[in-house]
A and B are shown apart, each in its own frame.
Chain A
Amino acid sequence: MNKDHRLKEKFIILCLALLFLGSILSIKAQDKKDFPFPVTPYILEENGLHVILSEDQSLPVVSVVVAYDVGSINEPPGKTGLAYLMEKLMFQGSENVNRMQHMSLINKVGGEFNATTTEDKTIFFQRVPSNQLAQVLWLESDRMRSLQISASNVEQAKQALIEELNRMKESEPYLRSFWRFDQLLYSSFAYSHPVAGDEEDVKNLTVQDVTDFYRTYYVPNNAVLTIVGKIDREKTLEDVKKYFETIPEGKETPLLPFASSPVKETIVESIEAPFAQSPGFLFGYRLPSPSSDDFYPLSIIEYILLEGNTSRIRKRLLKRERTAIQLSGGIEVRKELAVLKLFVLNNNTLMAQRSKKAIFSELHKLKTNYVPDEELKKFKNMFKRNYISKYTSSQARALFFSETFITRKILLNPSEELEKFLAVTPFDIVRVSHKYFTASSIILDIKTK
């Protein structure tokens, strides 16, 4: 699965590179497709940095996102927490930017910034008045080319990370249950270990570990730069080239470890959450890769079961039968692996049993009865609205392109993609329910003291 993915990625890069030869400055890939707004992808020939520019002239504001194709999945055993540590270090200064300067510069111009690290991506986000775009490019390019990785910087970031880890452990009584459930659901170490890392691992990280990780993954050929807002495309492209073109290309990033083979049988385990107030359970299924066609009906099923107060499982457990006191969940994607996850809290274990029974019965209903047209329309409308919201404001659009590009390596046309979700039929839903909601469910019962 993974090799395929890499091949596909290489193929796309090759295509883009070939197209590049056709024009002097840059390539313009998507001419035919009908995007609901202007957007142009580029690739810098010198170092393989992908660039996506999209104009939105409504307000003098610009959103800039640099996304790296790296997350906790890329951490080797014994070195967990590296990706998240890197996120912190990226604000600690680089050759020409002082420790507090990134933050103070963005604040001074009235901008906002943010960063997130997940299992499969690291994203740096800033939103500034449009006349300050060059400042952000200056900041982002400097930390991409010359991050300051000193013993004291690393030590400070490690301390901050351990503090955060301890706070998480104190405030989230179900944390260990979540971690255990991920191990069961994703099986392999790479996909299942927590982003925040293991305390012992973090303590043992060295300057060399950090330097190696930085040189491997935080390189232009492993990143995409997205700029959305009030911009002049030609001028912006010139600036991008000025700041990013001379950053040397990194080596090819190492192949990801194979995701483990699919679960074939039911797994049931239980765990004690000594500080938790209510018992409950985690419930899940392995789903096909997000690039599979079955993912479209499964995404609609997620809505039918769990989105909003009128969804089937929420309504039944929280309103009609009142067997659960809290319920959350949905589809979760880590690279090529996708899962359906539910977290349910109950007043007692009897209620937990009844909740599980109700969930199974709802899944069974999906296999045996067509979802009525009106109901399907409702959930598609909810899906549509949320999907549209992902690209209407310029900040949302910058994130949409960065995230989809990092995971799928293509410039996704949101209106075309949306059509595929909206084309799902009642029959598709029955078909994929049969295929994936089999006996191979994974359940972790959570007991209190």
Chain B
Amino acid sequence: MKAQNLRKIIVLFFLLLISTDSPLFSQERFRKTPPIPEPLPTLELPEIHYRSLPNGFQIGMIQQESHPIISLNVIIFSGESSSPQELPGLAALTANSLIRGAAEMSSSQIEERIDYMGGKFSMSIHPDFTLLSFTFLEEYLDRALYLVSRMLIQPILLKREIDTVRTNLYYNLFNKRDDPDFIAERQLLRLLFKDHIYERSVYNDDVLKFLTQDDITSFFNTHYRPNNAEIVLAGNLDFDAIERKVRRFFGTWPRKEIKHPTAPPPEPFNSTKVCFIETPGAKDATIHLGNVIVPPAHADIFPPMVLNQVLGGTPNSRLFMNLRESKGYAYDASSEIEFYKDCSVFSIHARVRPEVVESSIQEILKEIESITNEKIPGLEIEQAKSHLIGNFPLQIETFDNLTSKLAEIKAFNLGDEHWERYYENIQLITSEKLFELAGKTLLSTPAIVIVGDQDIVLHQFGTFIKEVDIYNKKGIYLGTYKFE
């Protein structure tokens, strides 16, 4: 009896010792819950200083001290939608040809010069604009300005070089011909942009062969004008010196009035349409669905951004949690908003097991129903807003990201307010406001594209999906299946 008591005491003593003294077993209280964040820091956006030349060429400059690399960007306010209707791909072929010869320089000489400056050069072609980006060591500013000015003012568009560019562009498209996401994304855009000028940006590899040297010259002469362009430089800059240099190299660039194609924004789908594209033997099925919403310059763009976050912006969002974590249908499920000048596209993507395509689509539509017809809990909205606000400065941390954001602001006419009032506009969104606007997005009547193995995918339809339009990978309509 006594011995037992003693043992108890010893055990108790050790327990006491463990719980108070040993750092291994004791738990500091602050570890139990995540710390409370400090208040949101104020965001001072990089200031952009503007100058302009008499020929209409705008100069934007951003000071970034202790940055020995300069980033030079030229935005041309014409993109693939400016290609003539019968010549899609012309904007891309023209832009990519500019690096293949200018003034006294051949394509390999240009390549050598870019490397010599420690340079990296790229061209990206959007439906609404074209962006030339060039970063280089700061000591080569003059050489860089000279090179870019020659490309934009005095390009040498030789047939042989154009053919090389054409072949490269062809293989870029050709190599992606079996990528299910690429196929589905393009088909969705073809449906949403049908008969709109944006449709020209989803051209096929075979149209490139029709473009001639004359077409390129004519596109260049029309659109590559100082009054249709803006140069943005970032780095350790002396603004007056920059203005002088830009004037020296670009001052003789002749202006010419240009007319941008205007068209009413694409109409959103107001009844659901299902399309199927066959990729024989595909292990997964890929679903892309979406609809057209308001353009980024519209005041009502902010609520959909919050909705997107709730629905599928991150792996914590509803689509991922439902389709992957809860149902086990999908490997991945997410949503996004792509911006254009005339509209935005709200789309949802999922890669699912092929035998559960119909159920997956039903679940996706259910999630859309629930964000449009039910009030979203306040906490979820606050989390979505917190993500958007917190993520904003992260998006502009590197030069590349900052300048492409700037290009969008300019090309989509977002105005300076977009920067300054971004936080405020997101903060102001309430559950009621979302509820009011969610129905207007018409997400519940989307265009739906499915890419996968026909034998597995199609025979499961009939309960909910009654009719499917069949297309090939290039977007050619092949026929319609009706399910009894």
Residues of A within 8 A of B (CB): 36-37, 58-61, 95-96, 100, 103-105, 107-112, 127-132, 134-135, 138-139, 141-142, 230, 242, 246, 248, 308-310, 374, 377-379, 381-382, 384-386, 388-389, 392-395
- Expressed in whole angstroms, the Cα–Cα distance for A103 and B387 within the complex equals 13
**Do A108 and B383 touch across chains, with their CB atoms under 8 A apart?**
yes
Q: Given A100-B316, A309-B111, A377-B116, are A58 and B390 neighbors across the interface (CB < 8 Å)?
A: no
**Is B43 in contact with chain A by the CB < 8 A criterion?**
yes
- Expressed in whole angstroms, the Cα–Cα distance for A77 and B38 within the complex equals 47
**Do A134 and B35 touch across chains, with their CB atoms under 8 A apart?**
yes
Closest A residue to B401 using CB positions? A393
**Do B387 and A393 touch across chains, with their CB atoms under 8 A apart?**
no
Residues of B within 8 A of A (CB): 23-24, 27-28, 30-35, 37-43, 46, 64, 66-69, 108, 111-112, 115-120, 135-137, 314-316, 383, 386-394, 396-398
**Do A60 and B43 touch across chains, with their CB atoms under 8 A apart?**
yes
In the A-B complex, the 3 residue pairs with the smallest Cβ-Cβ separation, listed nearest first, are A110-B390, A385-B118, A110-B391
Q: A135 — which chain B residues lie within 8 A by C-beta?
A: 34-35, 37
Q: A96 — which chain B residues lie within 8 A by C-beta?
A: 31-33
- Expressed in whole angstroms, the Cα–Cα distance for A230 and B44 within the complex equals 12
Q: A130 — which chain B residues lie within 8 A by C-beta?
A: 41
**Do A61 and B393 touch across chains, with their CB atoms under 8 A apart?**
yes
**Do B390 and A129 touch across chains, with their CB atoms under 8 A apart?**
yes
- Expressed in whole angstroms, the Cα–Cα distance for A59 and B419 within the complex equals 14
**Do B387 and A107 touch across chains, with their CB atoms under 8 A apart?**
yes
**Do B39 and A108 touch across chains, with their CB atoms under 8 A apart?**
no
Closest A residue to B30 using CB positions? A242
Show 27 residue pairs from A and B whose CB-CB distance is below 8 angstroms, ordered by the A residue.
A36-B66, A58-B46, A58-B64, A59-B396, A60-B43, A103-B315, A107-B315, A109-B37, A109-B387, A110-B389, A127-B397, A129-B390, A130-B41, A131-B40, A135-B34, A142-B31, A230-B41, A248-B23, A308-B115, A310-B112, A378-B115, A384-B118, A385-B120, A386-B118, A388-B137, A392-B67, A395-B398
Q: Given A95-B31, A96-B31, A392-B67, are A382 and B386 neighbors across the interface (CB < 8 Å)?
A: no
- Expressed in whole angstroms, the Cα–Cα distance for A110 and B35 within the complex equals 16
**Do B37 and A110 touch across chains, with their CB atoms under 8 A apart?**
no
Q: A138 — which chain B residues lie within 8 A by C-beta?
A: 31, 34-35
**Do A385 and B136 touch across chains, with their CB atoms under 8 A apart?**
yes
- Expressed in whole angstroms, the Cα–Cα distance for A128 and B386 within the complex equals 12
**Do B112 and A109 touch across chains, with their CB atoms under 8 A apart?**
no
Q: Given A129-B40, A248-B23, are A382 and B393 neighbors across the interface (CB < 8 Å)?
A: no
- Expressed in whole angstroms, the Cα–Cα distance for A308 and B30 within the complex equals 51
Q: Tell me the dominant secondary structure on chain B's binding face.
A: loop
Q: A100 — which chain B residues lie within 8 A by C-beta?
A: 316
Q: A37 — which chain B residues lie within 8 A by C-beta?
A: 66
Say which residue of A110, A112, A139, A248 sits within 8 Å of B386 (CB atoms): A110
Say which residue of A128, A139, A378, A394 sits within 8 Å of B116 (CB atoms): A378
Closest B residue to A132 using CB positions? B37
**Do B69 and A385 touch across chains, with their CB atoms under 8 A apart?**
yes
- Expressed in whole angstroms, the Cα–Cα distance for A385 and B120 within the complex equals 9
Q: B117 — which chain A residues lie within 8 A by C-beta?
A: 381
- Expressed in whole angstroms, the Cα–Cα distance for A135 and B107 within the complex equals 51
- Expressed in whole angstroms, the Cα–Cα distance for A377 and B397 within the complex equals 30
Q: Given A109-B387, A248-B24, are A384 and B316 neighbors across the interface (CB < 8 Å)?
A: no
Closest chain-B Cβ to A126's Cβ sits at a distance in Å of 11
Q: A128 — which chain B residues lie within 8 A by C-beta?
A: 390, 394
**Do B137 and A59 touch across chains, with their CB atoms under 8 A apart?**
no
**Do A132 and B137 touch across chains, with their CB atoms under 8 A apart?**
no
**Do B316 and A107 touch across chains, with their CB atoms under 8 A apart?**
yes
Q: B34 — which chain A residues lie within 8 A by C-beta?
A: 105, 135, 138-139
**Do B42 and A60 touch across chains, with their CB atoms under 8 A apart?**
yes
Q: B40 — which chain A residues lie within 8 A by C-beta?
A: 129, 131
Closest A residue to B64 using CB positions? A58
Closest chain-A Cβ to B101's Cβ sits at a distance in Å of 16
Say which residue of B39, B118, B135 sits within 8 Å of A381 (CB atoms): B118
- Expressed in whole angstroms, the Cα–Cα distance for A130 and B393 within the complex equals 10
**Do B69 and A389 touch across chains, with their CB atoms under 8 A apart?**
yes
Closest chain-B Cβ to A98's Cβ sits at a distance in Å of 11
- Expressed in whole angstroms, the Cα–Cα distance for A110 and B397 within the complex equals 14
**Do A110 and B119 touch across chains, with their CB atoms under 8 A apart?**
no
- Expressed in whole angstroms, the Cα–Cα distance for A308 and B108 within the complex equals 12
Most buried by A among B111, B388, B390: B390
Q: A309 — which chain B residues lie within 8 A by C-beta?
A: 111, 115
**Do B392 and A110 touch across chains, with their CB atoms under 8 A apart?**
yes
Q: Given A95-B31, A378-B115, are A110 and B23 neighbors across the interface (CB < 8 Å)?
A: no
Closest chain-B Cβ to A163's Cβ sits at a distance in Å of 10
- Expressed in whole angstroms, the Cα–Cα distance for A381 and B144 within the complex equals 14
**Do B32 and A107 touch across chains, with their CB atoms under 8 A apart?**
no
Q: A108 — which chain B residues lie within 8 A by C-beta?
A: 316, 383, 386-387
**Do B315 and A385 touch across chains, with their CB atoms under 8 A apart?**
no
- Expressed in whole angstroms, the Cα–Cα distance for A61 and B111 within the complex equals 36
Q: A95 — which chain B residues lie within 8 A by C-beta?
A: 27, 31
Q: B116 — which chain A residues lie within 8 A by C-beta?
A: 374, 377-378, 381
- Expressed in whole angstroms, the Cα–Cα distance for A142 and B137 within the complex equals 42
**Do A61 and B397 touch across chains, with their CB atoms under 8 A apart?**
yes
Q: B30 — which chain A residues lie within 8 A by C-beta?
A: 242
Most buried by B among A95, A131, A374: A131
- Expressed in whole angstroms, the Cα–Cα distance for A381 and B392 within the complex equals 33
Q: A230 — which chain B residues lie within 8 A by C-beta?
A: 41
Most buried by B among A61, A130, A378: A61
Closest chain-B Cβ to A48's Cβ sits at a distance in Å of 15
Q: Given A100-B316, A310-B112, are A385 and B397 neighbors across the interface (CB < 8 Å)?
A: no
Q: A59 — which chain B residues lie within 8 A by C-beta?
A: 43, 393, 396-397
Given A105-B34, A112-B394, 17 other A-B contacts at CB below 8 A? A58-B46, A59-B396, A60-B393, A103-B316, A109-B386, A110-B391, A111-B394, A129-B40, A129-B393, A131-B37, A142-B31, A309-B115, A381-B117, A382-B115, A385-B69, A385-B120, A388-B68
- Expressed in whole angstroms, the Cα–Cα distance for A388 and B120 within the complex equals 13
- Expressed in whole angstroms, the Cα–Cα distance for A109 and B137 within the complex equals 35
- Expressed in whole angstroms, the Cα–Cα distance for A374 and B30 within the complex equals 60
Say which residue of A36, A103, A378 sits within 8 Å of B112 (CB atoms): A378
**Do B23 and A246 touch across chains, with their CB atoms under 8 A apart?**
yes
Q: B42 — which chain A residues lie within 8 A by C-beta?
A: 60
Closest B residue to A145 using CB positions? B31
- Expressed in whole angstroms, the Cα–Cα distance for A141 and B387 within the complex equals 23
- Expressed in whole angstroms, the Cα–Cα distance for A382 and B137 within the complex equals 9
Say which residue of A107, A111, A392 sits within 8 Å of B69 (CB atoms): A392
Q: B27 — which chain A residues lie within 8 A by C-beta?
A: 95
Closest chain-B Cβ to A17's Cβ sits at a distance in Å of 21
- Expressed in whole angstroms, the Cα–Cα distance for A230 and B38 within the complex equals 13
**Do B137 and A384 touch across chains, with their CB atoms under 8 A apart?**
yes
Closest A residue to B42 using CB positions? A60
Q: A107 — which chain B residues lie within 8 A by C-beta?
A: 314-316, 387
Say which residue of B69, B389, B394 sits within 8 Å of A127 (CB atoms): B394
Say which residue of A110, A142, A377, A388 sits within 8 Å of B387 (CB atoms): A110
Closest B residue to A396 using CB positions? B398
- Expressed in whole angstroms, the Cα–Cα distance for A242 and B31 within the complex equals 10
Q: Given A100-B316, A108-B383, A110-B388, are A246 and B37 neighbors across the interface (CB < 8 Å)?
A: no
Q: B66 — which chain A residues lie within 8 A by C-beta?
A: 36-37
**Do B119 and A385 touch across chains, with their CB atoms under 8 A apart?**
yes
Q: B394 — which chain A residues lie within 8 A by C-beta?
A: 61, 110-112, 127-129
